[in-house]
Structure 1
Amino acid sequence: MSAVTLPDLKAARRLSRKQGLFAPDLLQAALARAFVMLRPDLMWKNPVMFTVEVGTVLSVVYTVYKVFVPASTHATLGYLIALDVWLFLTVLFANFAEALAEARGKAQADALRKTRQETPAYRLARAHDDPRQALDAPISSFERSVSTALKEGDLVVVDAGLLIPADGEIVAGVASVDEAAITGESAPVVREAGGDRSGVTGGTRVLSDRIVVRVTAAAGKSFLDRMIALVEGAARQRTPNEIALSLVLSAFTLIFLIVTAALWPMAANAESYMKDYLGAPENIRSLGTDVPTLVALLVCLIPTTIGALLAAIGIAGMDRALRANLIAKSGKAVEVAGDVDTLLLDKTGTITMGNRRATQILPLGDLAATEVGLLAALSSAADETPEGKSIVDLYRKLPGGNPAAAAAPAGANFVPFTAQTRMSGVDLPDGRQVRKGAADAIVKHVRAQGGTLPARLQEQVDAVASQGATPLLIAEGNRVLGLVVLEDILKPGIKERFERLRKMGIRTVMVTGDNPLTAKSIAGQAGVDDYIAEATPEAKLAYIRKEQFGGRLVAMMGDGTNDAPALAQADLGVAMNSGTQAAKEAGNMVDLDSDPTKLIEVVEIGKQLLMTRGALTTFSIANDLAKYFAIVPALFAGTLPWLKALDFMHLASPTSAILSAVIFNAIIIPALIPIALKGVTYRPVGADALLRRNLLVWGLGGVIAPFVGIKLIDMGLVVLGLA
């Protein structure tokens, strides 16, 4: 597996973000690709444009026949050639739209691929029982290797100044890491063993200290490889909504194909009737009997605009997700984000400022605060979480605290924290058992040991919780001896963010392991719609399933192993790149920035994708309606004079009307490419307001634009003497 150098990758990312929609190199690559995509084996994947391509071939054949048999039609050769040219350009412009979207991704992929290089790696022998022993050993004592030779499960030592050679999880140590290559942010971050901030990415640089990393992604499966596959389109699959819309467009195309095919005998019969029974001149001809004209009619009636832009819209949506530092495992994840109804967010690090810190130790019995603090520190000595470390730090700062005593003696047996027990602790060599954890978990533990609870315990727990802090109880054996206060601070502007989500029609739910009083207090301050207190993996799963049973789409963001079941169950699971491998595997989207508030951007990207597709579909269908009034009267005005009543546009001639409509139909595709790639501007408004705006801007605009455009083209043809 290859890593990257930071300066090169950062430069590549800056270049890709500054590159405009119509950079010359992108245009050149897209134009070449547009011609390649004319191959029928590629075109058939887009039924609408494949129909246009087949029609163009028929029109060209008919034009060639006209050259050899001039009497086959009264239409001029110039008119037929012009139709052929613009029908061909319609197909080419459609291919160009998709090719340009792909070219932007390929340009990013090429820039990223050029930055790949082998990175030195210092591998541990698998015989190491405790990776922590590697933190003090000389670097020369480890096997020197390279990143491309690493396998999943290998342990590597990374010193300050070295690049992390592979994606993995820290199993020992703590270090400051420069992740600017991934996130674009220059501020380093702390990554440490244990907890939910243990994930590291290949190509990032350790700035201080030493860490031991377990490789979790084999060669070819790193974040960089996934990013390259994503932007190249290799990993893109059509989303369910895109497939459904394609089927609808195919049905429209088939219907209009049948209708158009039926017009040819109808027009021929109308001519015969007028000649035989109404005494019309023998040379009367309707354009409805010319194959190129009927092809032009079909192309103008079927939804060519959205058919041409549909793939580009989907690719651009994936591209916008990538530019927001999100790796989506499929296009479905981006699309589902736009339909989310319920959003589950962890309290810690999402709603509050990172990890909680211990601020007070309150004795509940005869012991002094220092004595209770020592028990709390002993129970946290092997706790690698930031909360556990803050308890040890608090004890050491207490008057009379003994830093040396905070380390558990040899022979102590540590009990790790689990989401099920919601407590941790230590069994000391002298037989004492010390536990710390959530209030209800410790109460249950003490009662199971046959102990009794201190007077007014619940009152003191409730008093701490009602202030928005989290109370942790300290117990020795069957006695509750004290309480540790963990405090949270709300992130600035978080309440306004939730109000923004509410305007989008999304219900927010805070997930926390806190007791109900603390959860209620924080939820009220943050402005969330609901909360899950004392949340276990089972509780999260049950809540998600309840919401889904009610027909709602649920999004979940998490970073820990205990979040994995909920991430897998949620319709949209966003995992932190800094989190555990289990969480990243369970989610269908990974946030490279590890920013818990990124869900708001995820939702907006998804909604923008859906809005863009909806807006351009509305526009396409609306402008087809307007084209009927240009083409239908022109086709049959000679044989059915009453159709002149529908000729609102008063175009110069039937051939000018048809040619103008075909030209407009072709040039509207490249005109809409910037909107398809950039997306329609999203504003957090309700569904009703959004529908009204969509119909007003894109529906009404789609009706008006063809009337104006076709008339202007007709006038231009007259001026040029081509009408």
Structure 2
Amino acid sequence: MRGLWSRVDRGDLARTLFIAACTAATALGLTWPWPTVPVVALAGLIVGCWPIVMEAWEDIRHRRMSMELSMLIAIVAAAAIGEWLTALLITTFVLAAEILEDLSMDRGRDALTDLMTFLPQTVQVRVGGETRTTPLGEVQPGQLLVVAPGGRIPVDGVVVAGQSTADQSRITGESLPVDITVGSEVFAGSINQVGAVEIRAERVGADSSYGRIVEAVRQAQSSEPPVQRLADRLAAYLVYLALTGAVVTFLTTRDWTATISVVVVAGACGIAAGTPLAVLAAIARIARSGAFVKDGAHLEALSTADTIVFDKTGTLTTGSPSVVDIRTVDGITTEALLMLAAAAESYSEHPLGQAIVAHARAQGLPVGPSEHFTYQPGQGVSATVAGKKVAAGNRTLVPDAPETLPAQGIATAVHVSANEGYVGTILLADVIRDSARRSITDLHRRGLRTLMITGDQEMTAQAVAAELGIDDVRAGLLPDQKLAAIDAERAAGHTLAMVGDGVNDAPALAHADIGIAMGSGTDIARESADIVLISSDLNDLTHTVHVACRARRIVMFNFVGTIAVDLLGMGLAAFGILGPVIAAIIHVGSETAFILNSARLIPGRRVRINDRNRSASSID
């Protein structure tokens, strides 16, 4: 609480406390001699109304209607007919509400502040044989930086000396630390955990991964989405309505008290303040959970999407082959087959060969040396392993391999022979992301339609779609055909959010109503997108959709609630049922309620990595 109030401007707080004291004195001193109450009230109004007068004057200069101008009219009118307590109450409530609004907006900006202050202000730069302390802003690409255990990595770069583990969850979303050694790529915002490392800076400042995240969040929080412009127009209309209602009330009743009550009770502050707060808080919550939105308008667009379009490779799948099954002939163990194939592929640069070698090493098996390595394009590799002539590839290279189709039609078969005799088959596939199944299920639960567009073959695409439960599939598409598919869906009346990761997805990402890029994807995909999933975890997609929809519901509730309170209050005030004091209480009470409703989106704590594994529907 102490930290919260430390953010309040002391002048604003002193002014509010002073007028509150004058209000209390006026309420208690209504039976005092006549000059006393007006003198105390005028002193409070002169001090308290100054910021309201200044804002109202700016509105008059720019020929726009605002709540400050309407409130100033109500205050002056109440004082003119001797309703001193009403005038003071309105002023007190307006100032107190502005403090509450400022506090809420400050909390909503905390995510950006947290991002900006996370990196160290100074770094250790290696120059010759010594290290120098240098401001982070002066670091240039190519310089060598030393990061001690527990230190925060300040730049994107490559490790040139030392080994350690790094917590990269802030950038990649990976919950487990990763090993880093000479040649490893590291990212600004990661935490070096075990040993000291020396890093050659490649991207610094705003060009680093972390810098781009900070800048994207900054721009998003300062942008004005369409719903904000709608809120401003609606607020102005409500002010005109209140003033018109006041004029009609006076002409009908000739009752100044009822007329002033009509002006006092109506207010659109809940809309005017609550809308930007909801957008800002939503962007902050999304940023803390592993994604960032580049503009507030994109958040609004996502909340209205009815179809989520997915690329397959690298989006729904990991984008790299993995061993999914090993089949052997009698007398050969899976370990023996894997060691033969890995040794034969040890010099291969083909993704399938590298996946076989990686799988063998992950199983703790030795990858022995090979001789006479030969790569035959479109067929496979052959080599001599422990005196045996080993071949690994398709049926052209291993003709006696069985003709059975790979499991479910989604795997690629690498057949293996030893001394020209078939010994087994290794099946590899582009593995479906663990988060894809849950994400698709949650999106369907929200009533969203899912569509997959891919350049892969029909059989593979249909198999992946069937496993994930995707509603519709378009396979075998080139980049321009993906773009045509997006345009056709939009022409059919669908509002689309496109999720992709590759160069070939960039045109579709740009043409969709909202483009969403995987953080592990290409630079052009991330640049073309409106939202980036930093961790490439599709559960973050579901969470982002959830927060966007929740923000829209809160804004719409504030719209409807404000209009309902204003119309009902104006009607009661016009008939003399609400006096000026009660009208002021209702006005500020409803404004406070709508601001607090928007403030519910403000993240109260850092979202842990494990939290994103929850269903989005369970997030408050």
**How many Å separate the matches in 1 of 2:179 and 2:372?**
23
**AA paired with 1:667?**
G
- Of 236, 242, 246 in structure 1, the residue corresponding to residue 232 of structure 2 is 246
Give the 3 Å change call, closer, same or farther, for CA 54–169 of structure 1 in structure 2. Answer: farther
Q: How does 1:196-595 map to 2 (within 5 A)?
A: 200-205=187-192, 215-216=202-203, 218-220=204-206, 222=208, 224-225=210-211, 235-261=221-247, 263-264=249-250, 266-267=251-252, 286-288=254-256, 294-347=259-312, 351=316, 355-359=320-324, 377=345, 381-382=348-349, 389-393=354-358, 403-405=368-370, 460=404, 463-464=405-406, 466-470=408-412, 485-487=427-429, 495=437, 497-510=439-452, 514-534=456-476, 536-595=478-537
**Contact preservation (8 Å) 2:406, 2:412:** yes
**How many Å separate the matches in 1 of 2:173 and 2:218?**
21
Report the alpha carbon displacement of residue 190 of structure 1 after superposing the two structures with TM. Answer: 6.5
Q: How many residues align?
A: 544
Give the 3 Å change call, closer, same or farther, for CA 587–296 of structure 1 in structure 2. Answer: same
1:698 match:
none
- Where 2:205 maps in the other structure, the secondary structure is coil
2:608 match:
none
Report the alpha carbon displacement of residue 208 of structure 1 after superposing the two structures with TM. Answer: 8.2
Give the 3 Å change call, closer, same or farther, for CA 489–566 of structure 1 in structure 2. Answer: same
Give the 3 Å change call, closer, same or farther, for CA 226–552 of structure 1 in structure 2. Answer: same
- Where 2:497 maps in the other structure, the secondary structure is strand
1:88 match:
91
Give the 3 Å change call, closer, same or farther, for CA 605–359 of structure 1 in structure 2. Answer: closer
1:178 match:
167
Asked if 1:663 corresponds to 2:585, the answer is yes
**How many Å separate the matches in 2 of 1:382 and 1:209?**
32
2:123 match:
119
Q: CA RMSD in A?
A: 5.3
Larger mean Cα displacement after TM superposition, 92-101 or 593-602: 92-101
Report the alpha carbon displacement of residue 165 of structure 1 after superposing the two structures with TM. Answer: 3.2
**Contact preservation (8 Å) 2:415, 2:425:** yes
- Where 1:344 maps in the other structure, the secondary structure is strand
Report the alpha carbon displacement of residue 157 of structure 1 after superposing the two structures with TM. Answer: 8.1
**AA paired with 1:58?**
I
Q: How does 1:633-652 map to 2 (within 5 A)?
A: 633-634=575-576, 651=577
**Contact preservation (8 Å) 2:343, 2:370:** no
1:57 match:
72
Larger mean Cα displacement after TM superposition, 34-43 or 602-611: 34-43
Give the 3 Å change call, closer, same or farther, for CA 559–397 of structure 1 in structure 2. Answer: closer
Give the 3 Å change call, closer, same or farther, for CA 189–43 of structure 1 in structure 2. Answer: farther
**How many Å separate the matches in 2 of 1:91 and 1:324?**
35
**Contact preservation (8 Å) 2:165, 2:180:** yes
Report the alpha carbon displacement of residue 56 of structure 1 after superposing the two structures with TM. Answer: 3.2
**Contact preservation (8 Å) 1:158, 1:206:** no
**Contact preservation (8 Å) 1:169, 1:581:** no
Report the alpha carbon displacement of residue 96 of structure 1 after superposing the two structures with TM. Answer: 3.3
Percent sequence identity over aligned pairs: 24
Structure 1: 5+ residue stretches without partners = 1-22, 67-74, 124-138, 271-285, 364-368, 416-422, 429-435, 444-451, 475-481, 635-650, 686-723
TM-score normalised per structure 2: 0.69
**How many Å separate the matches in 1 of 2:186 and 2:491?**
33
**AA paired with 1:236?**
S
Give the 3 Å change call, closer, same or farther, for CA 633–558 of structure 1 in structure 2. Answer: same
Residue deviations 1:431-489, cap 9 Å, x none? xxxxx99x9xxx9xxxxxxxx999999975xx216354245799xxxxxxx98631355
Give the 3 Å change call, closer, same or farther, for CA 408–566 of structure 1 in structure 2. Answer: farther
Report the alpha carbon displacement of residue 610 of structure 1 after superposing the two structures with TM. Answer: 0.5
Give the 3 Å change call, closer, same or farther, for CA 658–594 of structure 1 in structure 2. Answer: same
1:187 match:
176
2:45 match:
none
**How many Å separate the matches in 2 of 1:171 and 1:559?**
29
**Contact preservation (8 Å) 2:311, 2:499:** yes
**How many Å separate the matches in 2 of 1:362 and 1:173?**
41
**Contact preservation (8 Å) 2:156, 2:188:** yes
Asked if 1:101 corresponds to 2:104, the answer is yes
Give the 3 Å change call, closer, same or farther, for CA 458–535 of structure 1 in structure 2. Answer: farther
Residue deviations 1:84-107, cap 9 Å, x none? 223324533553343123211454
Asked if 1:25 corresponds to 2:28, the answer is no
Give the 3 Å change call, closer, same or farther, for CA 228–526 of structure 1 in structure 2. Answer: closer
Give the 3 Å change call, closer, same or farther, for CA 490–585 of structure 1 in structure 2. Answer: closer
- Where 1:660 maps in the other structure, the secondary structure is helix
**How many Å separate the matches in 1 of 2:6 and 2:362?**
66
Give the 3 Å change call, closer, same or farther, for CA 210–219 of structure 1 in structure 2. Answer: closer
- Where 1:340 maps in the other structure, the secondary structure is coil
Report the alpha carbon displacement of residue 331 of structure 1 after superposing the two structures with TM. Answer: 1.3
Report the alpha carbon displacement of residue 609 of structure 1 after superposing the two structures with TM. Answer: 0.6
- Where 1:594 maps in the other structure, the secondary structure is coil
Give the 3 Å change call, closer, same or farther, for CA 174–342 of structure 1 in structure 2. Answer: farther
**Contact preservation (8 Å) 1:179, 1:188:** yes
Report the alpha carbon displacement of residue 633 of structure 1 after superposing the two structures with TM. Answer: 0.9
Report the alpha carbon displacement of residue 522 of structure 1 after superposing the two structures with TM. Answer: 2.2
Residue deviations 1:321-350, cap 9 Å, x none? 223232222112222221222223354666
Structure 2: 5+ residue stretches without partners = 14-49, 329-336, 384-391, 417-423, 604-614
**How many Å separate the matches in 1 of 2:11 and 2:220?**
16
**AA paired with 1:92?**
L
**AA paired with 1:167?**
D
- Where 1:555 maps in the other structure, the secondary structure is strand
**How many Å separate the matches in 2 of 1:157 and 1:313?**
41
- Where 1:557 maps in the other structure, the secondary structure is strand
Larger mean Cα displacement after TM superposition, 230-239 or 311-320: 230-239
- Of 596, 600, 618 in structure 2, the residue corresponding to residue 678 of structure 1 is 600
**How many Å separate the matches in 1 of 2:6 and 2:248?**
41
- Of 554, 558, 573 in structure 2, the residue corresponding to residue 616 of structure 1 is 558
Report the alpha carbon displacement of residue 237 of structure 1 after superposing the two structures with TM. Answer: 0.8
**How many Å separate the matches in 2 of 1:149 and 1:680?**
34
**How many Å separate the matches in 2 of 1:315 and 1:370?**
53
1:598 match:
540
**Contact preservation (8 Å) 2:122, 2:134:** no
Give the 3 Å change call, closer, same or farther, for CA 200–229 of structure 1 in structure 2. Answer: closer
**How many Å separate the matches in 1 of 2:569 and 2:325?**
75
**How many Å separate the matches in 2 of 1:424 and 1:583?**
32
- Where 2:450 maps in the other structure, the secondary structure is strand
Give the 3 Å change call, closer, same or farther, for CA 633–401 of structure 1 in structure 2. Answer: closer
Residue deviations 1:118-147, cap 9 Å, x none? 233569xxxxxxxxxxxxxxx979999875
Residue deviations 1:543-602, cap 9 Å, x none? 333323333232233444444444333333333444443333222223333323311011
1:688 match:
none
**Contact preservation (8 Å) 1:233, 1:315:** no
**How many Å separate the matches in 1 of 2:559 and 2:287?**
25
**AA paired with 2:104?**
A
